[in-house]
Structure 1
Amino acid sequence: MPWHARSVEQTLEELGSGRDGLSTVEALRRLDEFGPNELRKEGDKSPLLIFLHQFKEFLMVLLLIATGISVIVGEFLDAAVIMFIVVVSAFLGFVQEFRASRALDALKRMSAPVASVVRDGEEQKVPAREVVPGDIVLLATGDRAPADGRLIEEYNLKVDQSAFTGESEAVEKDVREIPAETPLADMTNVVFAGTTVIYGRGVAVTFATGMRTEFGKIAHLVQAAEDEHTPLESRMGEIGRKLGLGSLAIVVLVVGLGLLRGEHLLAMFLWGLSLAVAAVPEALPAVVTGALTIGVQRMARRHAIIRKLPAVETLGSTTIICSDKTGTLTKNEMTVRRIWMGEQVISVTGVGYEPIGEFRLNDQSAVKDGGLALLSRIAVLCNDAHLLRDEKGRHHVVGDPTEGALLVMAAKAGHEPEPARIDYPRTGEIPFSSARKRMTTVHRTPADSVLVCMKGAPEVVLQHCTHYWLGGQALFLSDEVRRRILAENEDMASRALRVLGFAYRELPSPHLELTEENVERRLTFVALVGKVDPPREEARAALLRAEDAGIRSVMITGDHKLTAVAVARELGLLKEDDLTLTGTELDGLRDEEFIKQVGDIAVYARVSPEHKLRIVQTLQHTGHVAAMTGDGINDAPALRSAAIGVAMGITGTDVTKEAADMVLADDNFATIVAAVEEGRAIYDNVKKYLAYLLSSNVGEILIVLVAGLVGLPLPLLTTQILWVNLVTDGLPALALGIDPPDPDIMRRPPRPAGESVFTPGVTMLIGLVALLMAAGTLPVFVWKLQATGDVVEARTMAFTLLVMFEMFNAFNCRSEKHSIFAVGPFRNRWLLLAVVSSILLQMAVLYIPFLQDIFRVTALGPDDWLVLILVSSTALIGGEIGKRVLRSTLVPSPTGKNG
């Protein structure tokens, strides 16, 4: 039987405790048995292991083998250059993985530092990590629960569980046992580790500490949730593996043929090394990182902070956004929306805690008459919250959010709380409790009479009323009026409003004895007030834009189903044929049943952290690229498991931010859509520089391979290939990474998760330009070798021609299908600068003596440059012809143009 289903005495007996608490000796014994009350890292890896983990990638292994071969054959400069590339790549991967491993540290910061417990019959302060099962814990306003505990006493206790369950309203606690199947969010007799007392006092007996608490289960889920490989990471890894395996096969072929022809073993090692290095796109990781970094900078200017570089691109391929409700789609600021008073329904405008809005009756601005003044006075006086303004002029509430919403309502009506509290000082109160379901306060008026104010559940408040307010006077409350008030209460509740009733009574005697019988009778009912956590104004437009981009949005919340459905309908998120599901209903579904329904469900309500994780994992299992947004600690495991986790920067907890890939600095849901646009643009540009870099790699392989097969001297040395792949190719590739996006980019559906980056346009450019490079470079190499008999000069021509081919090809790659003249040859000024810089760097290698020695080249004359320019320009001419053929043979893609 779970602890919440047991009585207080059963719980104490089972835990071997009592109201006087444990003895010090027993507490020490249990601390030794159960361990410290703290979160621990599971399978934690040291920084050294994280760094070594980076070397398991296939391309890294290939480069390490190339380093070893360089050392064996005495090419120490080549070995040093390749090893430098390997270490830098490993360091970049280490930084990202090490940052991602810190999620648990934020959870630890949410744990209480000290706890008040009863031991040996006396109250003591002990470090929270020393709390053990069976400890009697004392809780007061402002305290954070150190562990999970069953309440044994409570005095008007209210707990803020919003970061834990996703429900924005404070939870009233009770000591009575509840059914065993009660959902986590409805366990009113349990306090959970990490939640905060905002009102009243309580006493609880601890039944779970450390990793056994619900808090600890979240920590386990955060650590156990696997980081999904992003689409870009997966595709780049696939490309690297294919190139590496292909290069190994070619190396074996060339070396084998050479040895059969009687070639020297050392010479064959050099050929194999050149082929291996030619096949590896060394600049690709740096260019991908550079392009994504530029995307990060753009997003930062739009209030999205990227914590993991691939997140930008992943958003571009997102097919579904799983959004928390509280604080993400809503303000997490309770707001009065509707008032029933004097037989009239008044709507209240404005959102959140800013006291800006008006009272409207029949779509007309309602007069702030005596009725509103009376209601405002009761709402302010029968209230323990405070409405404060920070240094930036923003309002916030200290105390219960529901009471804060009433203060904002009064301020909108022109009645500031503090002056009323000064004029009507409180002389007594009968506090709210879950049993009474009402709060009553007694005040002395300026006329030295007594004012009794009451608020609470409407049906309870009505039981204490004999009159109701109408037109400035108190009229007899007939049974018919009672029925109308209760019917209006039900109507408000059906709109997902949380309703309170308000009443008052004025008495002449200032010496009234404070008892329920004296003050809570013959009251005048004033109004019903309906409150809601309102949707964000900008969220609706953002959801529509996401829908235009072919992205589904789903609400996942710990709140009640009725509330969730109402908010979803107001936002336009819940369509006519969409389904809703609660956590209890989800528990009743087998995996295969859930997989069949998951595509039709738009709202999940009353869910736990485990439910959120199951939802996200199931969506991704069915082929979705899922983004999860959230702000509470309950969102952290699902954020970690989703293809991309998006945390709120203002309302989000540190735990959520650490687990997320991206943080929204302005908590604006619309920023996600801007990130989607940026991600799609980045992916388009990835294809551009992929075509650019791989055409160079394939061209180099063909040049070295054909030369080896026909018995020519090695046309390109390892250091020369590395220079082309890393430096002269790297700058134009980065410039292609910031090409302007297509105008229709947010009218395309998301890319299929398994879609290849090798579209017809990319494949055509790689193959065609690689063939032109080989067909141009090898004849020039042979011509120069025969003309001069100098292999160094011939290699210099081949080396520089390869660079010039790439410069012309950079302009080819600005579009897969469209002519460079159609997209504007000078539109990307960064590309022009990159091309000029690369040519100047190549000239430095050719004409600076110490660089000549490193790269084993010689200076070229004007006639040589004329040949280089004429031959390399065929890359641009060939690319234009190939695109023209492609345009005439391919049907336009339904996702819009690719170029």
Structure 2
Amino acid sequence: MSGKGSSTFHTDDLKTVCLKLQTSTSTGLTSAVARKRLIVNGKNKMNLPEKPEFRCRKYLRNCFCGLASIIFISIVACFILDHIQQDKLSGLFRYIQENNDFLVAWAFMDLMPMYCTVLRDGRKQIIRSEDVVVGDILMIMYGERIAADVRVFVSHDLEVNNVALTGYSTSVIIIPNISHPNKWISRNVGFACSHVTKGSGRGLVIACGVDSEVGIMARLSMEPRPLTRPRKHMRQVSFYRYTLCAIMCLAFFLSLRMEGPPAPILLDFYVSFTICSSPVYLPTLIFFGLWHTKRQLLKIGCYARNMEAVSTLGLTTVICSNLIGSMTQRAWRVSELLVDGEMLNVQKDFVATNHFFDLIRASILCNHAYVTPGQRGLPKSEHNFDGTDYDKALLKFGSQFVASIEMLRVQFKRLASKSFDAITHLQVSVHSTENVDGETEYHLFIRGHLTEVMDHCSTCYMKADEPKKLIRSVRNSVVKKGSMMDQLGRHTYGFASKVLTADDYMLSLISNGFSYSKKNTYNTFMQTYSYSMCFLGLIAANNPPYPNIISAVDQCRNAGIKLVLLTRADVSFSRAVAKSVGVIGELNETAEDVAKRLRIPITRVERRMITAVTVNMHTMSKQPHHQRWDIEQLLLAHVDVVFNRIAVSQRHLIIDVCLKLGAVVTAIGSSVHDTSAIRCANVGVSESASSNVSQSCADLIVLENNFVTLVKAIAKSRLLFENMKKAVVYALSSNMAHLMIHLFFIVLKMPFRMFLLPSIFIAFFVNLIPALTLFYEPPEIDLMKVKPKVNEDFLINRRMLFVAFITVGLLEACAVGLAFIAYMLFNGFLPGFLLGLSVRWYDDSVNDLVDSYGQEWTRGARLQLEYEITSVTIITLTIMQGVNLVLTKAGRASLLSHGFLNVRLNIAIFYMIGICILFTFLSSPNVLKCLPVDYLPIFLYIFPVAILTIIVESMRRFILRKYGGSWIEEVSYYGCT
């Protein structure tokens, strides 16, 4: 018997369950049955990776793939040429970026206890927790963790804390005879990995391993994750880099068979060209952009555990968020009170009658919250309280109308109390006090759901001083007003009181404080004394949304992001909260709103009338494929959807449906229930006050649990991608010049080549470092008003290549070629004379090469001239890239309107000027293969080309702004709009 049919084991008759599981509450399973069941069902453990990948192997795997493989081939070539310099940082960066998914497995492993005590063959045995099977009788003791999902049938003041599963430290009192179809509400169920905080007991194992609640979460959490955006981008450029490497290798071997320079010179040239043409700096560029954005997110209260998700976040098309907590403050405040049959708004002036003070007194006494110690001397308005959200709201409000909460509670001494019960929906407390005559009085206070409280009442306070009979019309009126509060998203509870007659039987019932070890005491007391109570009124509290939450929701709509809200709350409450946060707008109507407006049954409401929807997942078909189809139709038919009363598997199913529809999903969660959803989504977001498991699964952690922070993070991520495209365009622009050098050297056989180290210098110090400053550029437009382009999500696309290689790249290549020809002309070589000269130029035996004017050049003089040409090339590219850097600041906007507030970019311009000055006078023939430039006016030939570049790019931007949608925009605009 597996645990797969255990959904009703906690509500069925205990004897029937024991018979079905072949066990006994007194003797437990037999060893033979336990061994057989262990073989059939497997061990009580989650299907997690046994051990992580060896770190050294992971590092090597990252260092010898992709771009790193090209660098590795270049390293081998460098050793052949006696050059032992190269950069291997890209693999290290990729290794650092990898999110260690084994942390998730560790988080789940840490939850399970190592050993536990079971009852088998009539005696207690200590076994490993992984050997527990369904049907075992588990001994539950204080201080331990439960090894499997159990149905508790013996409880001695047993309390458990599900903080490891939910993230919220709240003790749950176990009552064996109180059950509910929902395991999380039922009081006779203990979950695997829960902490036992009080008492002891025995439980029947109803689910273990992958069938337990935490096992289901772990199984769903370890499914493969969608590919992150940076990894997609690296795959997109892999074809380019591998193709380029293959072409270079083929060209090298073909060149060996042709007449030309010697093989070592050809090898050095092709290695240099491969390094320059391949975006070897791309991993570093991406890593820096992600790191910079991670720091920016931290400033707004969002910590990025996985840097790759920083980029994916900006592509979000669907946000699956918790309704309560992410969008509301979890800071409950009293908003309305019902006293004397009238509804009072606390934000407005009202008269505080004696009946009002009776209600306030009941709300303070029938309350388990308390003032946090260490606040003596602080004003009442600044006091902090410990307890549940609703209890704290009552105390905060009530403290305004009493002299001291502590003094009131001392005056009314609590004798017995019972916490709020999700089954009976009541909270009860009994107090004693002395009246004006010095006699002891006993007061009973109850609080709970309105209908439950009124069932115990026969009188109520109206305008008169004495209570009046609670007639049906008054009851209906109160229930109607309470229902109206529920529809407004309020937590509403009624209060009632009664002065008890002191007798020995009543005193004996309350003498043990309603101890759960004597479970019949409370039931007997309620049946005997909780009748004919006086209804005091009701208090409604609301959970206000975060400031600017409506603006954030509107931003999501403008940004083309669908909101899918998930909550375990009921339909009416979640609908009201969704309206308060702006998810259901003022002009939108749900099926219930349409039925109410037209005064027709909800079954007659047509789908075309509905503009918003709240879905009760409990009423949805139980078949997964039917649920999947229904969810698909709802997501496609409505802009925003609110799913209520949702189960763990349904949360995962909804996100999976969104992914199958092609959406990029960001999921927000806080508890272990949300772990599978967080892991399934493209970007998983966890709240700061959440369970350790959910934080281990998350890519981002929102430190203030604020949905507004996530929207700001999406804007930052979109800015990252826009600036990253600018940086890539800038860095690729010099490739056309290298291609032109290749054509000069191979096709035209001119003595024009780039050495390896100068090529690396240009790639990193001229292309990479200035490109990093573009990540600090402010946005040109409001990026949250742009729809995400999922189908055009390419880091390098045809428009970027057009700008990098055609409009800017060609001009840079012309500048380099012009500088080369002009400098060679200055040294006596006419352009026509350079054609085919490389064969004799690189021949070491030729020491009398004659130029166009009859001068003879030895091999050493020619090599010195090559070094000077290297300096000229570096300076020319640096000047042109400096101009390009300023132009790349804006994709469409005018540079004057965009501004020059990027201080780092301004510093980069001076940095590039310094490089030009340095190479004008630098002599480094052995390392950088460069010598000082003899003819400085050579650079006057470059400035007209630089001015032409400014004119061409400015005209292109002007056309983009003036004639949107033109063919110029189609072929050259790589921005977001």
Q: What is the TM-score when the length of structure 2 is the normalising length?
A: 0.79
User: Does 2:369 align with 1:369?
Assistant: no
Provide the C-alpha distance between the structure 2 equivalents of 1:433 and 1:203, rounded to a whole number of angstroms: 22
Q: Which residue of 2 aligns with 1:309?
A: 307
Q: Which position in structure 1 is the counterpart of 2:340?
A: 342
Letter in 1 for 2:635: V
Structure 1 distance, partners of 2:115, 2:406, is 34
Question: What residue is the counterpart of 2:808 in the other structure?
Answer: 769
How far residue 219 of structure 1 moved from its aligned partner, in angstroms, is: 1.9
Structure-1 residue corresponding to 2:406: 418
Map residues 472-871 of structure 1 onto 2, 5 A cutoff.
472-495=465-488, 497-507=490-500, 509=502, 511=504, 512-513=506-507, 514=509, 515-516=525-526, 518-531=528-541, 533-574=543-584, 575-576=588-589, 577-584=611-618, 585=620, 587=624, 589=626, 591=628, 594-599=631-636, 600=638, 602-649=641-688, 651-757=689-795, 758=797, 760=799, 763-785=802-824, 787=827, 789=862, 790-818=865-893, 820-821=895-896, 823-824=898-899, 826-841=900-915, 844=918, 847=921, 851-861=924-934, 863-864=935-936, 866-868=937-939, 870-871=941-942
Contact 1:368 1:413 in 2 (8 A): no
Q: Which residue of 1 aligns with 2:453?
A: 461
Separation in 2, partners of 1:384, 1:144: 26
3-state SS of 1:666 partner: coil
Cα distance 1:778–1:335, how it changes in 2: closer, same or farther (>3 A)? Answer: same
Cα displacement (A) at 1:875 = 3.5
Shift of 1:693: 0.5
Tell me if structure 1 keeps the 8 A contact 2:148–2:207. yes
Report deviation, 1:533: 4.7
Cα deviation for residue 702 of structure 1 reads 2.8
* Mapping of residues 34-73 of structure 1, within 5 Å: 35=43, 40-41=48-49, 44-55=52-63, 57-71=65-79, 73=80
Aligned position for 2:841:
none
* 869 and 543 in structure 1: CA distance in 2 versus 1, 3 angstrom threshold: farther
Q: Report which stretch shifted further, 288-297 or 330-339.
A: 330-339
The 1-side partners of 2:682 and 2:210 are apart by 26
Find the structure with the greater CA-based Rg. 2
Q: SS where residue 737 of structure 1 aligns?
A: helix
Secondary structure at the residue paired with 2:732? helix
Cα separation, 1, equivalents of 2:947 and 2:37: 75
Shift of 1:555: 0.6
Bigger Cα displacement from structure 2, 383-392 vs 884-893: 383-392
Change in CA separation of 1:590 and 1:399 when aligned onto 2, cut-off 3 Å: closer
State which drifts further: 56-65 or 719-728.
Answer: 56-65
Secondary structure (helix, strand or coil) at the match of 2:792 reads coil
Question: 1:809: how far off?
Answer: 1.7
Are residues 539 and 439 of structure 1, via their aligned partners in 2, closer, same or farther at CA, if it must alter by over 3 Å? same
| Aligned mates of 1:747, 1:767 — CA distance in 2 | 30
Q: Distance in 2 between matches of 1:483 and 1:538?
A: 38
* Equivalent in the alignment of 1:452: 444
Aligned partners of 2:454 and 2:434: how far apart in 1?
27
Structure 2 Cα separation of the partners of residues 703 and 896 of structure 1: 27
Whether the 8 Å contact between 1:118 and 1:136 is mirrored in structure 2 is yes
Number of the residue aligned with 1:891: 963
Partner of 1:229: 228
Contact 2:155–2:174 (Cα < 8 Å) also in 1 = yes
Give the conservation status (yes or no) of the 8 Å contact 2:290–2:308.
yes
**What is aligned with 2:269?**
271
Distance 1:525 1:125, change over 3 A: farther
- 1:719, CA displacement in angstroms? 1.6
When residues 481 and 832 of structure 1 are mapped into structure 2, their CA distance, relative to the original with a 3 A threshold, is closer
Looking at structure 1, the residues matched to 931 and 344 of structure 2 have their Cα atoms a distance apart, in angstroms, of: 88
Question: How does 1:108-257 map onto structure 2 within 5 Å?
Answer: 108-111=109-112, 133-137=134-138, 145-153=146-154, 189-195=188-194, 203-230=202-229, 232-249=230-247, 251-253=249-251, 255-257=253-255
Structure 1 residues 88-128: Cα deviation after superposition (integer angstroms, max 9, x where no partner): 22222222225454223334455568878767889999986
Structure 1's unaligned 5+ residue stretches are 348-358
* 1:375 alignment partner AA: L
Mark the CA change 1:27 to 1:371 in structure 2 (over 3 Å): closer, same or farther. farther
Residue in structure 2 matched with residue 10 of structure 1 by the alignment: 16
CA contact (8 A) 2:616 2:645 kept: yes
C-alpha spacing 1:546/1:108, structure 2 compared with 1 (3 Å): same
Equivalent position of 1:356 in the other structure: none
Amino acid at match of 1:737: F
Partners of 1:401 and 1:136 lie apart in 2 by: 37
Q: Taking structure 1 as reference, are residues 227 and 55 closer, same or farther at Cα in structure 2, changes over 3 Å only? A: farther
Distance 1:407 1:391, change over 3 A: closer
Against the structure 1 CA distance between its residues 797 and 431, is the aligned structure 2 distance closer, same or farther, given a 3 Å change threshold? closer
**How far apart are the structure 2 equivalents of 1:669 and 1:579?**
21
Q: Displacement, 1:777?
A: 1.9
Q: Note closer, same or farther for the CA distance 1:38–1:800 as it changes in structure 2 (3 Å cut).
A: same
> Residue 442 of structure 1 aligns to a residue in which SS?
strand
SS in 2 for 1:313: helix
SS class of match (1:729): helix
Contact 1:812 1:879 in 2 (8 A): yes
State whether residues 165 and 691 of structure 2, in contact with CA within 8 Å, keep that contact through their aligned partners in structure 1. no
2:429 maps to 1:441: yes
Structure 1 11/701 Cα, relative in aligned 2: closer, same or farther at 3 Å? farther
Distance 1:257 1:15, change over 3 A: same
Q: 1:386 aligned to 2:458?
A: no
Other structure's SS at 1:329 match:
coil
Give, in angstroms, the shift of residue 431 of structure 1. Answer: 7.0
Instruction: Tell me the residue number matched to 1:353.
Output: none
2:92 alignment counterpart:
91
- Preserved CA contact (<8 Å) 2:167 2:691: no
Q: Retained in 1: the 8 A contact 2:628–2:653?
A: no
- Pairwise CA distance, 1:468: 1.3
Instruction: Letter of the 1:688 partner, please give it.
Output: K
**Partner residue, 2:520:** none
- SS of the counterpart of 1:76? coil
Percent identity over the alignment is 20
SS in 2 for 1:854: coil
Letter paired with 2:329: K
Deviation at 1:626, TM superposition (A): 2.0
User: Judging changes above 3 Å, is the alpha-carbon distance between structure 1 residues 11 and 185 closer, same or farther for their aligned structure 2 residues?
Assistant: same
Deviation at residue 607 of structure 1 after TM alignment? 2.4
Q: Is the 8 A contact 2:780 2:890 kept in 1?
A: no
- Relative distance call for 1:309 and 1:672 in structure 2 (3 A) is same
Q: Secondary structure at the match of 2:257?
A: helix
More displaced stretch, 125-134 vs 813-822: 125-134
Match of 2:600 in 1: none
Q: Distance in 2 between matches of 1:534 and 1:109?
A: 36
* Partner deviation per Cα, 1:769-788 (whole Å, 9 max, x = no partner): 22123223234334544627
Amino acid of the structure 2 residue aligned with 1:877: L
Are the structure 2 counterparts of residues 706 and 188 from structure 1 closer, same or farther at C-alpha, using a change threshold of 3 Å? farther
Gaps of 5+ in 2: 510-524, 590-610, 829-861
Secondary structure at the residue paired with 1:470? coil
Contact conserved, 2:163 with 2:691, CA < 8 A, in 1?
no
